[in-house]
Amino acid sequence: MSRTVAESEPLMEQETRLSESQPAAAGTVRPGGRTAKVRRAVLEATEDALAATGFHALNMDHVAASAGVGKTTVYRRWGSPVGLVADLLRDMADRSLPASDTGSLAGDLRANAGLVLKTLTDPRMGAVFRAVIAAAACDEECAEALNGFYRARLEEWAPVIKRGAARGEIPPDTDGLELLRAVSAPLYYRFMITREPLGPEHAEQAVRAALTAAGGGVFTRP
């Protein structure tokens, strides 16, 4: 991940609830160190704000106050609301959950669709996802970070497809990422585009449609 200018400079503000930690040395970001704690507090406050009021109302001063971090730190390190959203997305990519291994491709894809469904229908996380997708529509840095989040998630789940192909459950030359996209797309489509109700029946249908198409060779590489 590229580092910001602020991360290369010594932290100067001490007006923070986190001041019991030692400031990180210039140019270092230790996990659990002060810089990491400040980032964690600011990204949690950003997520809270996105869940509560969405991207259009995201306010740097409120995030700083809610995180207990000095405004100057937040402005210097993140720059703008889109800087906060982009960093939140990079953090979400780093924290992406490992893929399932249920023993069958259908089982793994059901687990995958179930996770997507659970996230999008969760009142807090659904609102956060709507907000970061809206932010990406408004800003190129957020769009790249959103793309990076989904790339990380797809790569995390790619082994599921390889194992399924090795077990002969789909054609061996299936493009695994295309199959994974086919599972998620119908759920996001209802959630974000057509704004239609989303339930377990749609997750199940998405898995069946993706597996049927894969079995028919639709996702095999040319």
Give residues in contact with a copy of itself (CB under 8 A): 54-56, 130-131, 133-134, 136-138, 143-144, 146-147, 150-151, 154, 178, 181-182, 184-186, 188-190, 192-196, 205, 208-210, 212-213, 215-216, 218-219
Q: Which is nearer to a copy of itself, 78 or 191 (CB)?
A: 191
CA angle, 17 then 43 then 144, to 5°: 155
Q: How far is the CB of 195 from a copy of itself (least distance, A)?
A: 4
The CA-based diameter of the chain, rounded to the nearest angstrom, is 61
Distances from the Cα of 170 to the Cα of 99, 104, 161, 177, 187, angstroms: 18, 11, 8, 13, 22
Q: Which is nearer to a copy of itself, 69 or 85 (CB)?
A: 85
- Helix orientation angle between 123-138 and 81-94, rounded to the nearest 10 degrees: 120
Q: How far is the CB of 205 from a copy of itself (least distance, A)?
A: 6
Q: Which is nearer to a copy of itself, 4 or 53 (CB)?
A: 53
Q: Which is nearer to a copy of itself, 18 or 143 (CB)?
A: 143
Q: How far is the CB of 60 from a copy of itself (least distance, A)?
A: 15
Q: How far is the CB of 177 from a copy of itself (least distance, A)?
A: 10
Q: How far is the CB of 25 from a copy of itself (least distance, A)?
A: 36
Q: How far is the CB of 23 from a copy of itself (least distance, A)?
A: 35
Q: Which is nearer to a copy of itself, 39 or 130 (CB)?
A: 130
Backbone conformation region of residue 118, classed left if phi is above 0, alpha if psi is from -120 to 50, else beta: alpha
Q: Environment class of residue 217 by beta-carbon count within 10 Å: exposed (0-12), middle (13-18) or buried (19+)?
A: exposed
Q: How far is the CB of 146 from a copy of itself (least distance, A)?
A: 5
Q: Which is nearer to a copy of itself, 64 or 136 (CB)?
A: 136
**Looking at the chain, which runs of residues are DSSP E strands?**
none
How far is 202 from 206, CA to CA, in rounded Å? 6
Q: Environment class of residue 32 by beta-carbon count within 10 Å: exposed (0-12), middle (13-18) or buried (19+)?
A: exposed
Q: Residue written as tokens 């140019």?
A: 27
Q: Which is nearer to a copy of itself, 58 or 69 (CB)?
A: 58
